[in-house]
Structure 1
Amino acid sequence: MNTNKLIALMPELAVFKIVVDEGSFTAAAKKLGVTPSALSKQLSRLEHTLSAKLLERTTRKLVITESGKGIYNQCCTLLEATKQAVEFTSSEHAVPSGSLTVAAPKAFLSIVLQPMVKPFLTQYPDIELKLKATDGEIDLISEGIDVVFRLTEKPTEGLVVKHMGKVSLRLCASPDYLAERGTPVHPTDLRQHDCLYLGETTTDHIWDFVKDNEAHTVAVKGRYAVNHSQMRLKGVIDGFGIGIFPDFVIKQALADGQVQPVLADWTIKGNYQGDIALQFAQTKFMPARLRVFIDYVTAHLSEYTVS
């Protein structure tokens, strides 16, 4: 296909992405200020040119085909490249401005990043900050994410990674609970205690401990499970039992004496620990808003995490 035909395809590829993102021709047409029939004709032309069915149209919804999924991913890449071209001149001297979307695990976003929001937006009044709380996997390009924080020992390949610190898992309980039930001195002692876990999967109550060359896997039990870190911490403070948390979750509660460390000389294996990895897509021309955000959190992150 020659260059002129490829260029002619670009608006139709952009329309296809918007239709998929919006979930219907009606919603996409409203966003673009055109009629649904006009978008339908554009998509039909695109399917004819590519000789591929991209969407299955039913009376209730649109279903993207396997071919459509592949084309959609290419559209995301194309629009990301276009975005970088537009932002070329902002990479060096322009005042930081525009929209910045940041994704992070829920607890990390709430406890560590949220206190930075007001001072950051005050310092950079032309930046529009969008935060997305998620504990799942994220595709930066297709989901329109500029930067993602991950708590992991294996950052996502193919993305730039900036290591911002370390997070470890810690076990704790309230002083009143330990006074009444005793303090565990070995992981196997947890079998005689009430423990709080996430309750998301059938293995959440299986806890793994390591010290030197010794390892133990313990199946704990308890009356209260909740997949929200701050609610689970409140349960521990209220004396419901012993819980595992990323260290930044319990930092203030430890300082205030609301909880005490348990089995502090043991390493706990599990998710939401390892490097605090800030990741973003590789680009030759980093937008000023992204650069100042990275610089800001780098300078302030140590105030909110446990060393």
Structure 2
Amino acid sequence: MDTNKLIALMPELAVFKIVVDEGSFTAAAKKLGVTPSALSKQLSRLEHTLSAKLLERTTRKLVITESGKGIYDQCCAMIDATKQVVEFTSSEHTTPSGALTVAAPKAFLSIVLQPLVTPFLTKYPDIQLKLKASDGDIDLVSEGIDVVFRLTEKPTEGLVLKQIGKVSLSLCASPDYLDRRGTPIVPTDLLQHDCIFLGETATDHIWDFVKGDEFHTIPVTGRYAVNHSQMRLRGVLDGLGIGIFPDFVIKKPLEEGTVTEVLSDWTIKGNYQGDIALQFAQTKFMPARLRVFIDYVSEHLYQYTVH
């Protein structure tokens, strides 16, 4: 296909991406200020040119085909490349301004990042910051995410990685609970205790402990489970049992003496531990808003890193 025909395809590819993102011709048409029938005709022309069915149209919804999924990914890359061109030729490349979307696990977002929001936005008044709480996998391109924080020992391949600290897991209980029930000395003692776990999966109640060559897998039990760190901490503070927490969640309660760490000589294996990994897509021309955000959080997050 010659260059002129390729250039003619680009608006229709962009329209296809918007239709997929919006979920319907009606919503996409409203966003673009055109009629749904006009968009439908554009998509039909695109499918004819590419000799591929991109969307299955039903009376209730649009369903993207397998061919459509592959083309959608390429459309996302095309739009991203266009953004980089605009940013390179605009003041955004040197002046921190524009929208920035950041994703992070819920607890990390509320406890660690939230206190940085106001001072960051005060320092950079031309930046619009959008935070997204997510404990699952994030697709930066399709979800429009500029930066994602992960607490992991296995950062996502294919993304730029900046390690800005480490997170470990700690087992904690309230002093009142330990006075009533006793303090576990070895992991197997947990079989005699009430434990508070996430309750997200069928294996969340199975806790792994390592010390040297010793390894214990403990199927704990308890009357309370919740996949929210602050609510789980509230349960521990109220004496409902023993819970596992990332160190940034229980740093302050430990300092205040409202919780006590137990089995501190054992390493707990689980999710939400390892490196604090800040990741973003590779780009030749990094927008100033992204650069200053990365620099700002890297400078300020040392206080949450427990050495």
TM-score band w.r.t. shorter chain: over 0.9
Name the CA shift for 1:56/1:92 in 2 (closer, same or farther; >3 Å).
closer
Aligned partners of 2:295, 2:271: CA distance in 1, in Å? 27
CA contact (8 A) 1:112 1:305 kept: no
Correspondence for 1:252 = 252
CA deviation vs aligned residue, 1:26-83 (integer Å, no higher than 9, x gap)? 0000001111111111100000000001001111110111111111001001100001
Alignment of 1:1-307 (within 5 A): 1-89=1-89, 94-307=94-307
Aligned partners of 2:274, 2:224: CA distance in 1, in Å? 27
CA contact (8 A) 1:91 1:286 kept: no
**5+ residue gaps, structure 2:** none
CA deviation vs aligned residue, 1:83-106 (integer Å, no higher than 9, x gap)? 111111458863200000001111
Please report how far the alpha carbon of residue 173 of structure 1 lies from its aligned counterpart in structure 2 after TM superposition.
0.2
- Aligned partner of 2:148: which letter? V
State TM-score, norm by structure 1: 0.98
Name the CA shift for 1:91/1:261 in 2 (closer, same or farther; >3 Å).
farther
Please report how far the alpha carbon of residue 148 of structure 1 lies from its aligned counterpart in structure 2 after TM superposition.
0.5
Query: For 1:87, what is the secondary structure of its paired residue?
Result: helix
State TM-score, norm by structure 2: 0.98
Aligned partners of 1:203, 1:281: CA distance in 2, in Å? 33
Aligned partners of 2:173, 2:8: CA distance in 1, in Å? 64
CA deviation vs aligned residue, 1:113-146 (integer Å, no higher than 9, x gap)? 0110000001000000011111111111111110
CA contact (8 A) 2:87 2:93 kept: no
CA contact (8 A) 1:196 1:224 kept: yes
CA contact (8 A) 2:152 2:275 kept: yes
CA RMSD of superposed structures (Å): 1.0
Aligned partners of 1:50, 1:111: CA distance in 2, in Å? 49
Please report how far the alpha carbon of residue 304 of structure 1 lies from its aligned counterpart in structure 2 after TM superposition.
2.9
Query: For 1:12, what is the secondary structure of its paired residue?
Result: helix
Please report how far the alpha carbon of residue 302 of structure 1 lies from its aligned counterpart in structure 2 after TM superposition.
1.3
CA contact (8 A) 1:168 1:247 kept: yes
Please report how far the alpha carbon of residue 306 of structure 1 lies from its aligned counterpart in structure 2 after TM superposition.
2.5
**5+ residue gaps, structure 1:** none
CA contact (8 A) 2:207 2:219 kept: yes
- Aligned partner of 2:271: which letter? N
